[in-house]
Amino acid sequence: MAQYITTADPDHFQPINANFGLVPRPAEKMKKKERYEYLGQVALESIQNFMKKQGV
């Protein structure tokens, strides 16, 4: 995916919306807004952990 983003032809580039399919779902049932806030927080924490492991 990184290669596609960095080498795509600007005339034909078609970005996609965020996909939270790889983020674990909350254990309890939540309202839609709360669920998306939770998923966003989990995704940000995952990215921060990855960056820390990479030394970034």
Higher pLDDT, 3 or 31: 31
Report d(CA 39, CA 20) in Å as an integer.
7
Which pLDDT does position 38 carry in this prediction?
Answer: 93
Does position 15 have pLDDT exceeding 80, yes or no? no
* Mean per-residue pLDDT over the chain, rounded: 87
Which pLDDT does position 42 carry in this prediction?
Answer: 92
- Tell me the domain boundaries of the chain: 20-56
Give the CA angle between residues 19, 1, 48 to the nearest 5°: 65
* Residues with Cβ within 8 Å of residue 39, at least 6 apart in sequence: 20, 23, 26
